Structure 1
């Protein structure tokens, strides 16, 4: 069977590519990685070192002419969570434009300008997307669904915690797949009972099974144009209408809460450790241990803001050191470096307390060992990459199922 051609945007160090290539069914024909705030493009350098520089672009995607991007079957990427609001402009005869620099609109531009747009999209984001912004819960996701609908796509989504399916990290992310109306899957989804799609016949539910009890069903139309949605969607409501799974087809959303159903093996933090090969700089000096204990501990104290305002601050204790018999906590971008922190991982080893190594962090995201190792790339930077990355195993499972469905 023919491999599907892929455009990979916001590629980072290539997590999407690894997951898709692991299936043997996908071929990346063009990729883009650009870090706006930094001079040295380290992620792009790692990407090129691993996958080669051919057909890889390291420039701001919003400035890449659509004509330079080749046709492909599927567009993938983990795009940043930003403010997706829409403004009207007089100069723009189409009346709509998203904020400059907001990368959702770069995807939108590619889809709307290409003569042969990709038939499938496979995208990832933080689960906060379903309820942002806090002043208008769910508005950003509604804009996204509506804009995809107008471009001729139906969408299914699910929030997946990798650890719920035996993977080594508790990392909760929203994954969504869009199907163009010219595809057989779009027609199937349109005809299907949407509850059944969410329960067991959808691409994501086949890859990541759920218990057949969906809760908090909501069915609603997303009305109005993008500007109206931007200004009025869910105004004055405390909760987002979007639950952790759903479909959107023909202007209507059906969303419900799904629960993971998995009984297989589990990888835990202890399984990824490099115990015998850890160099001294990862060990915590005895004099720093009290600082770590304080930051990880519970607190109830009076703090003073810069303005002089005093307030009561409290937070609960974190497990310290991290439990080895469970999946790890989520890796964040500030994971690297020696300074004590509430959020960095610390494990107990025979030689004392220590932080996690770059290889261990790679393993928690199911990357190959030393994937991010490159001259000039610090350990802290490697940790930052993993804080930004996704769990490769999730992409692989969905990618495999999507390929099967396309070829049914």
Structure 2
């Protein structure tokens, strides 16, 4: 099994030291995501459906990380209320809890869009946290924005961190590195100088986007003097001025 240390790189003039962590396993059902992961981390992910992967097949781990779709959750009308799913995507959350219960790593990190806090009339998220706690972990969560930590993108995500109960660790989220939005890293610092023509919009598309820029949601005109807005997965159209 391939292993790779994390850290040990330079980004926007800052050096990030190599840490004492190794990636020993990765899983994603999307072929393109697997290719990008392998290119960046020199580790080929297991691209089977995670529901088909037995915990006994996984290596021993200290930290489990994962993201799971939130749009699949629903509250089944029962007494007491239980966490239900509308489709197979929602089962990824339960698979993460399954691995936590059966492998018992020291801690886990999960992430999701901030909308999960209000999903199902704010009833889904408390049940999600409860499932993590019932897996044997002390859990905390917080909304973090990547722009506050030197990334030239405004990306708010709910980060959920849990430590195994027997470790008695009182975790605290790190303070923001950048508080004043005027000091955020601008998009222009990471734009490539040479871009293939196939990635450019036609002039007609550019004119249309600029005309509707104030009401645009999915496709957005990006200001290179500011951090990039998050580009949604359902529409990856983004115009750079």
TM-score by length of 2: 0.76
Q: Counterpart of 2:163 in 1: which secondary structure? A: strand
Q: How does 1:189-200 map to 2 (within 5 A)?
A: 189=170
Q: Distance in 2 between matches of 1:26 and 1:264?
A: 34
Deviation per residue, 1:50-72 (Å, 9 max, x gap): 44456x32100012112111221
Partner of 1:347: 240
Q: Distance in 1 between matches of 2:39 and 2:219?
A: 37
Q: Which of 129, 143, 153 in structure 2 is aligned with 1:159?
A: 143
- RCO (CA 8 Å, sep 6+): is it higher in 1 or 2? 1
Alpha-carbon distance, 1:325 to partner = 1.6
Check whether the contact 2:206–2:239 (CA below 8 A) recurs between aligned residues.
no
Q: Which of 282, 289, 293 in structure 1 is aligned with 2:210?
A: 293
Distance 1:316 1:42, change over 3 A: closer
Alpha-carbon distance, 1:76 to partner = 0.5
Matched, 1:124 2:111: yes
Alpha-carbon distance, 1:288 to partner = 3.7
Q: Which of 192, 199, 203 in structure 1 is aligned with 2:172?
A: 203
Q: Distance in 1 between matches of 2:110 and 2:100?
A: 14
Q: How does 1:83-162 map to 2 (within 5 A)?
A: 83-85=72-74, 98-99=84-85, 101=88, 102-112=91-101, 114=102, 116-133=103-120, 137-162=121-146
Distance 1:329 1:141, change over 3 A: same
User: Which consecutive unaligned segments of at least 5 residues does structure 2 have?
Assistant: 10-15
Deviation per residue, 1:225-249 (Å, 9 max, x gap): xxxxxxxxxxxxxxxxxxxxxxxxx
Partner of 2:161: 177
Alpha-carbon distance, 1:107 to partner = 0.9
Check whether the contact 1:83–1:140 (CA below 8 A) recurs between aligned residues.
no
Q: Distance in 2 between matches of 1:106 and 1:98?
A: 14
Check whether the contact 1:84–1:104 (CA below 8 A) recurs between aligned residues.
no
Partner of 2:198: 281
Alpha-carbon distance, 1:320 to partner = 7.8
Distance 1:110 1:52, change over 3 A: same
Matched, 1:271 2:164: no
Number of positions where the alignment pairs a residue of Structure 1 with one of Structure 2: 224
Deviation per residue, 1:170-204 (Å, 9 max, x gap): 1111111101111131xxx3xxxxxxxxxxxx431
Q: Distance in 1 between matches of 2:35 and 2:191?
A: 27
User: Which consecutive unaligned segments of at least 5 residues does structure 1 have?
Assistant: 1-16, 36-40, 89-95, 190-201, 211-259, 298-314, 337-343, 349-408
Q: RMSD of the alignment, in Å?
A: 3.5
Distance 1:319 1:77, change over 3 A: closer
Q: Which of 25, 32, 50 in structure 2 is aligned with 1:61?
A: 50
Q: Distance in 1 between matches of 2:19 and 2:49?
A: 29
Check whether the contact 1:166–1:265 (CA below 8 A) recurs between aligned residues.
no
Q: Distance in 2 between matches of 1:82 and 1:347?
A: 29
Check whether the contact 2:152–2:184 (CA below 8 A) recurs between aligned residues.
yes
Q: Distance in 2 between matches of 1:182 and 1:209?
A: 29
Q: Distance in 2 between matches of 1:57 and 1:317?
A: 34
Partner of 1:73: 62
Q: Distance in 2 between matches of 1:46 and 1:332?
A: 18
Distance 1:272 1:109, change over 3 A: same
Distance 1:261 1:53, change over 3 A: closer
Q: Counterpart of 1:145 in 2: which secondary structure? A: helix
Alpha-carbon distance, 1:84 to partner = 3.3
Check whether the contact 1:131–1:139 (CA below 8 A) recurs between aligned residues.
yes
Q: Counterpart of 1:182 in 2: which secondary structure? A: helix
Q: Which of 218, 227, 234 in structure 2 is aligned with 1:327?
A: 227
